[in-house]
Each structure stands twice: as C-alpha cells, then as structure tokens.
C-alpha cells in the first residue's frame, strides 16, 4: 500500500503542494533537454553522412572547450579565441577526412566506428598534452554570456531562471534551427541527404564525398564547441565533460540516429522525464541518483516498441 | 603551447620505450628506497590527482637534493598512472611490488579496497592517508593498513561537531551529497549511527560518476528537502558543479561543508566569487609559509626538477596534502631505519615505521612544518593517529583557515570502527591480525 501511495499518490500531492518546484523542475528539464538535443545533433550529423556512430563526439566537446579556454589563457581575446577555435575544429574535420576517413571508404561500419574510438584516444592524449589535465574555468563573461538570475514569484514560491541557462536554451535552439535550415534548404544540405541515402548514387551525380565529410565533421565540431561552452559554464572545463555526451545515446535511440527533429524531441523527452522521475519517484522510492540510468530505461522501452526511434527510418528488408 | 607540444611529442616517443612510469630521481640500486606513487595525471579526476602527485614527489625530491635522501639512501619515487581506476591501480601494484616497494599510497578508495587484502600477503603496507577503508584504523585487525591522520568516520564526526558548535545539531536536518561510489558511501554507517544519538535527521543525495557535471535534479531534491546544512563527500568535477548548483538554488554557502577531498583550489577556482563562504574540512596547511615548503621551492621547483606547472601552484591545498603524505612516509622510513639499523629497509620494516613514528609539535617544528597540521601519533593499536581536522572557508579567490583543530569524537567512533573491523576480518579467511600491548 505504501508503495502504491509512493507511485500514484504522493508525487502528485507534492506537485500540487509545491507548484513552484514543479515549474522549476520543468524548466531544468527543458534546459537539460535542449543541451542533450545539441549533443545528439553532433552524432546525427555524422551518422547521416557516413553511417558512423562518432564515438569521439564527447571528447570533441572537451577538446573544443579546452582549445577556447587554452587560447584565452595565452592572452588571445575571447572572441578571437572563439574564431581560432572554430578554425581548429575545421582543421580537425579536415584532418579526420584526409588522414582517416578517406582511407576507410567501403570499409564495414564497425571499422569506421572503431576508428572513431581510436580518434577519441588521440584527442584525449593531444588535449592532455597541450592543455594539461587540470580543470579550467569557462570564459563565460569574456564571451559576453549573461550571468546572474531572475526570479519569478509564482504560486507563493519562486522559480529561478539562471541567465546562462536561458542563453544556453536560446543558443541551442538557434544552432539547431540554423543547422536544420542549412541541411534542408541549401545545396550542400541536399548533397548531404543524397550521401546519406546512397553513397554510390551520390558519387555518380558528382557529389564529393570527401567534401561532405569535412562539412559534417566541421558542423559537429561547431556543435561540440557550443555544447562545451554551455555545459562547462555550469561546471568547469575538464575531461569529465566527455561523459556528458553519453547522454546522447538514449536521445538517439528515442529520436532516431538520422533525424534532426528526432534529436530535438528525444532530447526534450529525456530532459523532462529524468528530472521529473528523479524528484517525484526516484528519491522517495529508490533513494535518488536515478539520473544516471533512467534515460537508458526510457530508451530501452522505446527500443522494444519502436527500434528505429520516433523519427528514424524504418528498415524493410526483402527476403 | 608550441613548447609543450614539442615536449609532448618527445615524451610520446619516449613513452613507447619507458612504459607508463617515470623515474623522478635516479640512484644506484644498492642504497635506494623505492616508493611507488599510484597517481592520476589523466582522466576525469586529473585536476585533483596532479597537484597531489606533484607535492608527493617534490618533498622526496627535496630530501634527495637537500639531505641526500633519508639516512643516506636516496628515494626513488616511481609514478604509475591509474586514472583513478581500481583495475589499473591493481595493475600498477602488481607491476611495481617486486621492485622493493616500501608502501602503497593508492589515492583512491576503490584501489585501496582492492589492495587491503593483498597487503598482509605481500607484506607491503597500504597507507591510505585520510581515505580508504575506515576500519583499518584498528591496528590489531589491520596490521598492514594505515589511515593517518584520520579516517573518514573520524572526519565526519569532526564535521558534525563543527555543526553542533555553530547553532547546534539537535533537531536539524543534514543533507549528505556524495559521489555514488565506494568513497562517497563510506561515512554513511557513521551517519546512521550518530543521527539518533545526536538527534539530527539526515537525507542522502547520491551523484553518479557519470552525472558529476549534471546535478540539477539532485539540487532540485535538495530544494525540496530543505536541509539546514549540507555535507559533501565529492571528488573531481563533482565539487565545482555542486557548489555552483548550490548557489543556483540559493543554498547558504556557510552552511555547506565539503570533506577534505572537496575543498581544494582545483575545486573552487573555476567557481570563484559564486562559491564565497563555502566551507571544507582540511588537515594539512595552506600556503608556502613553512620552511619545508621554502626548501621544496629552492631545491626542486626553482631548479626545474618538479613537474608542477608553476611556483604559484606550490602551497595549494592538494599540493600540500600530497607533500604531507610524503612527510609521514619519510618519517616512517626514518623510524624504521633507526629501529632496524639498516639503510635500505623492506615493506615489513616500513610497517613497523608506520606504527611507530611520532609527528609531535616539536618534530613538526624540526621538519619546518610548525603549525602545518595537528600532531599524528602512530601506534600499534591506532592506525589513524589521532589527527584533527580544521575548517577552511573559500574567500572567493583563496582558502582561509577559520577554525581551531577539531578532534574527532573518538568515544563514539572507535567502537564503530572496531565493530566494522571485526565484521570485515571475520568474513575473510585466514586473516592476519596482531596483538598490541
């Protein structure tokens, strides 16, 4: 009976009694959800173009953030450091295509996946070599990002909006929108979709596979930089940040590996559900700490009923 | 950066032939003392591992440079990278134990738990300074385990005493946020035991290792529970994130206390002014205003024989913690040499040294560390040495000591430690114990 109450009664009583906390939870879920969407987008871009699950996306987040902060520590002004970091991410995309992917054409997907694991270790080593392993503070104010917070007095309580969270949500939204337009409405975007559909057919109509790979890896690099800035502002720039990218996995399972809208919707579902579950069910019943696994349970349930995700393409094989 | 890159490339080229370990000081095999250092300069916890490893190595290097080692034998500190992972820690142990290792300082509760059963078998002590298995404080049950200057349980009791002396603890609600791993869970039995005795209520907030930088749900729970005080058992990126999240929900910083692994410069520098007022326990001095630290700078750091990034990092909380670890090791070596009459000692001799060194006020002064820490008196029975913690506060840019030493609640903690030690050793087959007079 107690368990019944904990599942079906108490959470809703708490929601009713503390509506401001519910609103705060929804806001935190929304902010986390947009950031998860952004991380997942980095994976989707590369998967669409090359059917490769880019294991290195997490370390690209760290590498981009470290480069930005590292350049600033060397005395480079923040905005110039931002531009130079974009340059470094382009160079990385170019190098990955020229030194790695080009030599992997026609290899099985699993080989390409293993390649990105190798790339992860190279980036970890390079990052630690150049910038060291010590955590650094994100240059939030220097980049003109807002700090501080605003309160909303509501239902006899308050909802606190951190300005950096608002900025994170807005930037993530704009970036997702920009990338969606770029890949859906431009010539390069159409080429990308053609590559995603069929490599051979795309090549036969003159689309440069190599150029497309550089573009998508660079786009994933931009996404990594944005994610790194926003997430590091909530904590610090350290190699621990790379594990945050693991949160993209359930998002991708939910939204589908090839769908930009899927990444957005999947991210928001995970963001909202994990915060609500942990607060209202996780702590009273399981003692808390459910954030580290709840998203994967949601993904597992989706896998059982919709293996291709919410927006993924259904694979029909003729026998 | 280019210099670092070139140095890095050279290091990489060397790495292939030198394995993962680095010799800090060279000496002939005959009159050397081998001290393995299970460090982590890479991975998610590197920010804490680096300054600790630097302080540990630099003190021994200073003894080599200034005094020619200890008792005429030079010290070889060999680092082995664990990445804070238990399996790698055990790998490092197995790879180095045959080289004449005097003692192991795992700098990880997870690794310590793996090594504690191995220590009596290989006859090499495990010295987990202020971490690891609290029960090793009972010397009769753990002849080869040491936790100077205090165990986690003793530390927790000192923190509770501090809370009690600042507004009283009876009737209060204490929130306990902890890394959801062996380390973070270690003091929970003590909280469960002391809560009814001291009349407080406690509520736990676990943070998964993968969620260290994603704690917003945890802090929503804190907001819901409205604790009067928060105590944190955090490590690595968990610490700055928690302090930022606490500030976000407007939790009063002067009611938020981290343990001694959640109060380093690396933890709060990225937080800055936001964390002003945050408290943390500590047992080792802050800064370089100690003759021993000045000797380290003069003999090791300035001549470029240290791995420390810059001289400004010397004196930081974790640098000094690593240095203090080396000080206690050096004292144990000295005592063991005097006792055995040997220059080159073994792990068994070192065990005797670790049970018999006396870091009194007078001795600390001789070592150039007056006021650096509370006295640590080793004994056969007491493997935590009666050390005391003090509380420090973050000013927005640096740590400032704000309390006198707070001794642990020995009368309450000791019986619990004995109970835990009995429980651990009774479950282990053929566990080696000792009788203390």
- Angle of helix A78-95 versus helix A209-234 axis, rounded to 10: 140
With an 8 Å Cβ cutoff, are B217 and A243 in contact?
A: no
Interface test with B, best of A67, A292, A296 (most B CBs within 10 A): A292
Mean of pLDDT values over A37-58: 87
A239 belongs to a structural domain: yes
| Per-residue pLDDT, B259 | 96
| Per-residue pLDDT, B30 | 63
The residue with greater pLDDT, A74 or B25, is A74
Distances (CA, A) of B239 to B89, B151, B235: 23, 20, 6
Chain B nearest-CA residue for A242: B44
| Residue B217: φ, ψ to 5° | -65, -40
Handedness of CA B50, B55, B60, B65 (dihedral sign): positive
Q: Which CATH number fits domain B20-151+286-388+422-427: 3.30.43.10, 1.25.40.10, 3.40.50.2300, 2.30.110.10?
A: 3.40.50.2300
Half-sphere exposure of B147 (CA within 13 A, CB side): 28
Q: What is the ipTM of this complex?
A: 0.88
Torsional class of A61: left (φ above 0), alpha (ψ -120 to 50), beta (otherwise):
alpha
Tell me the pLDDT tens digit for each residue of B4-54: 444 444 444 444 333 344 444 444 446 899 999 999 998 888 989 999 999
* Residue A306 burial (C-beta neighbours within 10 Å; 0-12, 13-18, 19+): middle
- Our CA angle for A47, A50, A51, nearest 5°, is 55
Q: Where are the beta strands (DSSP E) in chain A?
A: 149-154, 157-162
Among candidate residues B226, B179, B233, B44, the one with its CA nearest the CA of residue A289: B179
Tell me the pLDDT tens digit for each residue of B386-435: 889 999 999 999 999 999 999 999 999 999 999 999 999 998 888 999 99
Return the number of other C-beta atoms located less than 10 Å from residue B431's C-beta: 14
Range of the domain at A241: 17-131+164-305
- Pairing status of strand B256-258 against strand B201-207: unpaired
Distance CA B323, CA B59 (A): 6
Mean of pLDDT values over B168-195: 94
Chain B nearest-CA residue for A290: B208
pLDDT above 70 for B114: yes
**How far is residue B55 CA from its own chain's centroid?**
12
With an 8 Å Cβ cutoff, are B211 and A292 in contact?
A: yes
Among candidate residues B157, B194, B148, the one with its CA nearest the CA of residue B410: B157
Interface test with B, best of A24, A250, A289, A294 (most B CBs within 10 A): A289
**For the ranges A10-24, A164-178, B256-270, which has the lowest average pLDDT?**
A164-178
* Residue B292 burial (C-beta neighbours within 10 Å; 0-12, 13-18, 19+): buried
- Our CA angle for B340, B341, B347, nearest 5°, is 40
Distance CA A298, CA A208 (A): 39
A203 belongs to a structural domain: yes
Among candidate residues B207, B130, B106, the one with its CA nearest the CA of residue B376: B130
With an 8 Å Cβ cutoff, are A231 and B213 in contact?
A: yes
Which residues of chain A are within 8 Å of residue B217 when distances are taken between CB atoms?
A: 28, 274-275, 278-279, 282, 291
Among candidate residues B133, B127, B152, the one with its CA nearest the CA of residue B56: B127
Interface test with B, best of A236, A245, A278 (most B CBs within 10 A): A236
- Our CA angle for A15, A21, A25, nearest 5°, is 100
| Per-residue pLDDT, A18 | 93
Q: For chain A, what is the domain count?
A: 1
Chain A nearest-CA residue for B224: A21
Return the number of other C-beta atoms located less than 10 Å from residue B336's C-beta: 27
List chain B domain ranges.
Answer: 20-151+286-388+422-427, 152-285+390-415
Return the number of other C-beta atoms located less than 10 Å from residue B126's C-beta: 30
Whats the size of chain B, residue-wise?
437
Residue B270 C-alpha, separation from nearest chain A C-alpha, in angstroms = 4
Distance CA B134, CA B383 (A): 10
pLDDT above 90 for A147: no
A158 belongs to a structural domain: no
Distance CA B183, CA B113 (A): 10
- Our CA angle for A5, A11, A15, nearest 5°, is 145
Q: Which of A18, A134, A289 sits opposite B180 (nearest CB)?
A: A289
Distance CA B329, CA A225 (A): 44
With an 8 Å Cβ cutoff, are A240 and B206 in contact?
A: no
Distance CA B68, CA B75 (A): 9
| Per-residue pLDDT, B13 | 41
| Per-residue pLDDT, A70 | 94
Return the number of other C-beta atoms located less than 10 Å from residue A173's C-beta: 14
Q: Which of B8, B208, B245 sits opposite A291 (nearest CB)?
A: B208
Tell me the pLDDT tens digit for each residue of A170-184: 998 898 888 888 888
Which residues of chain A are within 8 Å of residue B236 when distances are taken between CB atoms?
A: 238, 240
Q: In what order do the strands lie in the sheet with B22-23?
A: B22-23, B74-81, B32-39
Q: What is the DSSP letter of A315?
A: P
Interface test with A, best of B13, B202, B214 (most A CBs within 10 A): B214
Q: What is the DSSP letter of A160?
A: E
Whats the size of chain A, residue-wise?
319
Interface test with A, best of B42, B55, B216 (most A CBs within 10 A): B216
Provide the pLDDT confidence category of residue A200 given band limits of 50, 70 and 90. confident
Element containing residue A32 per DSSP (H, E): helix A19-50
With an 8 Å Cβ cutoff, are A24 and B223 in contact?
A: yes
| Per-residue pLDDT, B219 | 96
A310 belongs to a structural domain: no
Q: By the 8 A CB rule, do A69 and A132 touch?
A: no
| Biggest distance spanned by C-alpha atoms of chain A | 67
Distance CA A221, CA B395 (A): 37
Q: Integer distance in angstroms from the first to the last C-alpha of chain A?
A: 52
| Per-residue pLDDT, B3 | 46
Which residues of chain B are within 8 Å of residue A237 when distances are taken between CB atoms?
A: 270
Q: By the 8 A CB rule, do B79 and B21 touch?
A: yes
Distance CA B328, CA B373 (A): 11
Q: By the 8 A CB rule, do B405 and B281 touch?
A: no
Q: Give yes or no for A39 touching B (CB within 8 A).
A: no
**What is the three-class DSSP state of A263?**
helix
List of residues 6+ apart from B150 with CB closer than 8 A: B130, B158, B283, B384, B385, B386, B387, B388, B389, B408
pLDDT above 90 for A163: yes
Among candidate residues B19, B43, B154, the one with its CA nearest the CA of residue B99: B19
A313 belongs to a structural domain: no
Handedness of CA A255, A257, A263, A267 (dihedral sign): positive
**What is the three-class DSSP state of B105?**
coil
Q: What is the DSSP letter of B273?
A: G
Chain B nearest-CA residue for A30: B216
Provide the pLDDT confidence category of residue B377 given band limits of 50, 70 and 90. very high
Which residues of chain B are within 8 Å of residue A294 when distances are taken between CB atoms?
A: none
For chain A, what percent of residues have pLDDT higher than 70? 98
Mean of pLDDT values over B85-91: 96
**Is it true that B20-151+286-388+422-427 and B152-285+390-415 share their CATH fold?**
yes
Torsional class of B328: left (φ above 0), alpha (ψ -120 to 50), beta (otherwise):
alpha
Cα-only R_g, chain A: 21
Which residues of chain A are within 8 Å of residue B10 when distances are taken between CB atoms?
A: none
Distance CA A134, CA A238 (A): 7
Domain B152-285+390-415: top CATH class: alpha beta
Q: What share of chain B is helix, strand, coil (3-state, %, to 5)?
A: 45, 15, 40
Mean of pLDDT values over B298-314: 96
Asked whether the bond before B149 is cis by omega within 30 degrees of 0, the reply is yes
Tell me the pLDDT tens digit for each residue of B189-228: 999 999 999 999 999 999 998 889 889 999 999 999 999 9
Which residues of chain A are within 8 Å of residue B206 when distances are taken between CB atoms?
A: 287-289
Q: By the 8 A CB rule, do B102 and B350 touch?
A: yes
With an 8 Å Cβ cutoff, are A288 and B205 in contact?
A: yes
Q: Give yes or no for A203 touching B (CB within 8 A).
A: no
Provide the pLDDT confidence category of residue B2 given band limits of 50, 70 and 90. very low
Q: Give yes or no for A13 touching B (CB within 8 A).
A: no
A59 belongs to a structural domain: yes
For chain B, what percent of residues have pLDDT higher than 90? 85
**What is the three-class DSSP state of B377?**
strand
Say which CATH number the domain at A40 has: 1.10.3470
| Per-residue pLDDT, A180 | 82
Q: Which of B210, B237, B266 sits opposite A246 (nearest CB)?
A: B210
With an 8 Å Cβ cutoff, are B240 and A138 in contact?
A: no
Return the number of other C-beta atoms located less than 10 Å from residue A314's C-beta: 8
Q: By the 8 A CB rule, do B51 and B264 touch?
A: yes
A141 belongs to a structural domain: no
Residue B222 C-alpha, separation from nearest chain A C-alpha, in angstroms = 10
| Per-residue pLDDT, B8 | 45
Half-sphere exposure of A253 (CA within 13 A, CB side): 17
| Per-residue pLDDT, B255 | 98
- Pairing status of strand B376-377 against strand A149-154: unpaired
| Biggest distance spanned by C-alpha atoms of chain B | 63
For chain A, what percent of residues have pLDDT higher than 90? 52
Provide the pLDDT confidence category of residue A267 given band limits of 50, 70 and 90. very high
Between A and B, how many CB-CB pairs are < 8 A? Answer: 146
Distance CA B324, CA A162 (A): 40
Mean of pLDDT values over B276-293: 97
Q: Give yes or no for A236 touching B (CB within 8 A).
A: yes
Q: Which of B4, B42, B217 sits opposite A130 (nearest CB)?
A: B4
Which residues of chain A are within 8 Å of residue B240 when distances are taken between CB atoms?
A: 135, 235-236
Q: Which value, to the nearest 10 degrees, does the dihedral of the CA atoms of residues A119, A125, A131, A134 take?
A: 120
**For the ranges A48-57, A65-74, A167-176, A295-304, which has the lowest average pLDDT?**
A48-57
A4 belongs to a structural domain: no
Tell me the pLDDT tens digit for each residue of A124-138: 999 988 988 888 899
With an 8 Å Cβ cutoff, are A247 and B214 in contact?
A: yes
| Per-residue pLDDT, B19 | 39
């Amino acid at each position: 009976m107690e368990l019944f109450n904990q599942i079906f009664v108490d959470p809703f009583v708490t929601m009713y009694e503390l509506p401001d906390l519910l609103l705060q939870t929804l806001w935190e879920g929304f902010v986390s959800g947009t950031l998860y969407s952004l991380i997942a987008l980095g994976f989707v871009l590369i998967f669409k173009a090359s059917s490769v699950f880019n294991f290195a996306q997490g370390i690209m987040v760290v590498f981009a953030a470290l480069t930005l902060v590292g350049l600033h520590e060397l005395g480079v002004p923040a905005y110039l450091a931002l531009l130079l970091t974009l340059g470094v991410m382009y160079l990385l995309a170019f190098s990955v295509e020229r030194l790695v992917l080009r030599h992997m054409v026609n290899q099985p997907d699993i080989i390409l996946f293993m390649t990105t694991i190798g790339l992860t270790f190279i980036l970890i080593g390079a990052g630690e070599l150049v910038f060291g392993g010590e955590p650094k503070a994100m240059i939030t104010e220097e980049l003109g990002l807002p700090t501080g917070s605003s309160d909303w007095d509501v239902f006899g309580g308050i909802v606190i909006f951190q300005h950096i969270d608002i900025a994170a949500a807005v930037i993530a939204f704009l970036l997702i929108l920009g990338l969606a337009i770029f890949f859906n409405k431009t010539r390069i975007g159409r080429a990308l979709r053609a590559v995603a559909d069929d490599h051979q057919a795309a090549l036969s109509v003159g689309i440069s596979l190599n150029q497309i790979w550089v573009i998508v890896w660079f786009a994933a690099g931009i996404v990594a930089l944005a994610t790194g800035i926003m997430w590091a502002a909530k904590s610090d720039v350290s190699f621990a940040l790379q594990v945050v990218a693991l949160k993209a996995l359930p998002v991708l399972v939910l939204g589908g590996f090839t769908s930009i809208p899927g990444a957005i919707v999947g991210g928001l579902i995970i963001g909202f559900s994990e915060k609500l579950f942990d607060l209202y069910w996780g702590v009273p019943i399981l003692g808390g700490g459910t954030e580290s696994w709840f998203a994967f349970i949601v993904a597992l349930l989706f896998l059982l009923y919709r293996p291709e995700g919410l927006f993924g393409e259904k694979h029909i094989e003729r026998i | 950066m280019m210099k670092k890159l070139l140095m890095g490339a050279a290091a990489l080229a060397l790495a292939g032939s030198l394995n993962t370990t680095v010799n800090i000081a060279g000496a002939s095999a005959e009159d050397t003392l081998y001290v393995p250092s299970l460090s982590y300069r890479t991975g998610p916890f590197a920010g804490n591992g680096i300054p600790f490893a630097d302080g540990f190595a630099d003190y021994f290097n200073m003894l080599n440079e200034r005094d020619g080692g200890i008792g005429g034998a030079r010290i070889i500190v060999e680092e082995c990278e664990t990445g804070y992972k238990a399996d790698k820690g055990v790998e490092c142990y197995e790879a180095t134990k045959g080289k004449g290792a005097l003692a192991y300082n795992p700098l990880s509760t997870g690794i310590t738990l793996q090594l504690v059963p191995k220590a009596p078998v290989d006859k090499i002590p495990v010295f987990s300074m202020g971490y690891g298995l609290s029960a090793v404080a009972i010397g009769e049950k753990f002849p080869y385990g040491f936790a100077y200057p205090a165990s986690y349980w003793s530390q927790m009791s000192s923190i509770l005493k501090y809370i009690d002396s600042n507004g009283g603890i009876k009737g209060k609600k204490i929130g306990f946020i902890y890394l959801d791993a062996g380390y973070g869970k270690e003091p929970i039995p003590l909280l469960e035991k002391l809560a009814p005795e001291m009349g407080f209520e406690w509520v736990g907030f676990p943070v998964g290792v993968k969620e260290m930088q994603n704690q917003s749900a945890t802090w929503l729970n804190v907001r819901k529970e409205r604790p009067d005080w928060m105590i944190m058992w955090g490590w690595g990126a968990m610490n700055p994130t928690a302090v930022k999240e606490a500030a976000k929900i407007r939790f009063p910083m002067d009611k938020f206390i981290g343990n001694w692994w959640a109060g380093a410069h690396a933890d709060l520098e990225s937080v800055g002014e936001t964390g002003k007022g945050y408290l943390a326990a500590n047992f080792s001095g802050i800064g370089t205003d100690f003759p021993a630290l000045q000797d380290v700078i003069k003999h090791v750091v300035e001549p470029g024989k240290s791995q420390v990034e810059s001289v400004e990092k010397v004196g930081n909380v974790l640098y000094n913690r690593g240095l203090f670890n080396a000080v206690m090791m050096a004292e144990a070596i000295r005592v063991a040499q005097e006792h055995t009459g040997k220059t080159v000692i073994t792990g068994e001799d070192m065990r005797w040294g670790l049970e018999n060194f006396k870091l009194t006020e007078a001795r600390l002064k001789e070592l150039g560390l007056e006021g650096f820490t509370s006295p640590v008196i080793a004994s056969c029975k007491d493997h935590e040495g009666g050390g005391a913690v003090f509380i420090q506060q973050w000013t927005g840019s640096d740590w400032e000591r704000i309390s006198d030493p707070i001794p642990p609640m020995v009368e309450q903690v000791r019986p619990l430690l004995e109970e835990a030690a009995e429980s651990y050793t009774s479950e282990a087959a053929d566990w080696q114990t000792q009788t203390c007079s």
